[in-house]
């Protein structure tokens, strides 16, 4: 199973553009444990990047994710709050677990070219969110994107806490997992992060949800509680 998913993501990397980054590029590790929870909790990297998340999606359907980004940084690069959506149009892939996916990343003047993805088993919305987040954060901090990306990957590998959670879907509770990590805490370059070294990444997944990704959030607050950055993505049940 693992080789199949990695092969599919590598193949997709050759046919995608701009933000069409594959889950393989963000995988926390090839084989290292990525959880600080009990032995029953899944590996954070495997849970997020190595599962056939698209196998429970219906060809011909569209998955829609609400997106919000806002920042209280005065004269920062983010501008006014952005409230938009990422939509994935699903078509059959070459296997029962994979899908061909067309992407609409935001709308109107906010539109960002992304995809398409061919024969994908993992949900690309995860990497789309992270790549978009990485671009903004690297611009704000005037930092090397590779350094930040590696820090996040390391955070998932060494600092992630994975706990069971419940997810409300259509008025009923289903089982899910919550992954939380603070990758920049204690980082050698923390003093250059404009107070954002407390950035917390929270991922919620549920096998019962089409595409399995329920929500993603990156948030940072100043010592006085002010909002430095809130960036979040949520599965839109009503649109599914």
Name the residue ranges covered by the structural domains of the chain. 2-235
> 32 pLDDT exceeds 60?
no
The SS3 call for residue 217 is: strand
Residues 88, 66 contacting (CB under 8 angstroms): no
Main-chain dihedrals φ then ψ at residue 120, nearest 5 degrees: -95, 135
* CA–CA gap between residue 207 and residue 195 (Å, rounded): 36
For the stretch 34-67, pLDDT in tens is 445 444 888 899 999 999 999 999 999 999 999 9
Main-chain dihedrals φ then ψ at residue 141, nearest 5 degrees: -90, -5
> 100 pLDDT exceeds 90?
yes
Distances (CA, A) of 122 to 48, 84, 98, 137, 193: 8, 23, 8, 25, 31
42-219-51 Cα angle (round to 5): 25
User: How many CB atoms within 10 Å of residue 198?
Assistant: 16
The pLDDT, as a whole number, for residue 237 is 87
pLDDT band of 219, cuts 50, 70, 90: very high
What is the DSSP secondary structure assignment for residue 177, as one 8-state letter?
Answer: E
Q: Which residues of 17-42 are buried (b: 16+ CB within 10 A; e: fewer)?
A: eebbbbbbebbbbeeebbbebeeebb
Main-chain dihedrals φ then ψ at residue 194, nearest 5 degrees: 55, 40
Share the mean pLDDT of the chain.
Answer: 84
pLDDT band of 29, cuts 50, 70, 90: low
C-alpha closest to that of 153 among 66, 69, 48, 59:
48
For the stretch 113-132, pLDDT in tens is 998 999 999 999 999 999 99
| Residue 66, both tokens | 């609400």
Residues 32, 38 contacting (CB under 8 angstroms): no
């Amino acid at each position: 199973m693992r080789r199949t998913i990695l092969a599919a993501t590598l193949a997709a990397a050759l046919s995608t553009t701009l933000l069409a980054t594959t889950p393989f590029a963000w995988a926390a590790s090839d084989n290292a444990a990525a959880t600080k929870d009990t032995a029953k909790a899944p590996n954070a990297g495997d849970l997020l990047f190595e599962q056939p998340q698209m196998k429970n999606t219906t060809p011909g359907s569209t998955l829609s994710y609400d997106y919000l980004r806002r920042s209280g940084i005065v004269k920062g690069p983010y501008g006014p709050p952005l409230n938009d959506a990422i939509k994935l149009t699903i078509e059959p892939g070459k296997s029962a677990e994979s899908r061909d996916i067309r992407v609409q990343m935001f709308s109107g003047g906010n539109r960002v070219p992304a995809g398409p993805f061919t024969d994908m088993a993992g949900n690309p919305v995860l990497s789309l969110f992270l790549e978009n987040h990485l671009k903004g954060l690297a611009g704000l901090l005037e930092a090397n994107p590779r350094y930040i990306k590696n820090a996040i990957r390391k955070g998932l590998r060494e600092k992630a806490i994975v706990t069971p959670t419940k997810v409300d879907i259509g008025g009923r509770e289903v089982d899910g997992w919550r992954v939380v990590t603070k990758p920049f805490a204690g980082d050698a370059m923390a003093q250059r992060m404009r107070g954002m070294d407390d950035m917390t990444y929270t991922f919620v997944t549920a096998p019962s949800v089409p595409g399995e990704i329920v929500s993603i959030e990156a948030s940072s607050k100043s010592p006085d509680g002010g909002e430095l950055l809130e960036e979040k993505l949520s599965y839109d049940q009503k649109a599914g």
